Amino acid sequence: MKKFINAFIDFFYFDFFAFIPKDTFRYLACGGFTVVTDLVVYFLSYNYVFLKEPVPVGNIVIGAHIAAFIVSFLVSFPLGFFLNKYIVFTHSELKGRIQLFRYGLAVLSCIGLNYLFLKLFVEICGWYATPSKALTTLIVTVYSYFTQQYFTFKVKSIR
């Protein structure tokens, strides 16, 4: 399966993308696939599972948008981890449980950065929400790449 996924991604790695390292291109492809999957699961959950209605959970009620976020997160988190571990950052010698823990920390920090940058750009700077989200996504994607490369799936240096 790993060879098939790599071959599929590498099929789209044209000479035009030669300025981007292949691992970075794979990261973008896997990340893009994870984001699209997350959005599709969110849309389907919100519209067809929860029917845009509040969801009772024990003694509390959560909004359909939050319930759909939880469902999509439960799909995208493991998907993103496995794609990064087995397709993008394959040279790490860290144990899988350490990688998973670090991946969780990185994802939490990305959620926090999304929140902070959106608050900054929209509420403090007064920018429009959509361009603010686009800029936030760009910043957090770059941060996430380096976090995954140098923290989550770190390769031990040889000295």
CB 93: neighbour CB atoms within 10 A? 8
Residue with tokens 């292949």: 22
pLDDT at residue number 157: 63
**Among 87, 99, 96, which Cα is nearest to 34's?**
87
In the beta sheet, which residues pair with residue 55?
62
Residues 13-47: tens digit of each pLDDT: 877 778 888 888 999 999 999 999 998 999 999 99
**Percent of the chain's residues with pLDDT above 90:** 65
Q: What amino acid is encoded at 116 in this protein? A: L
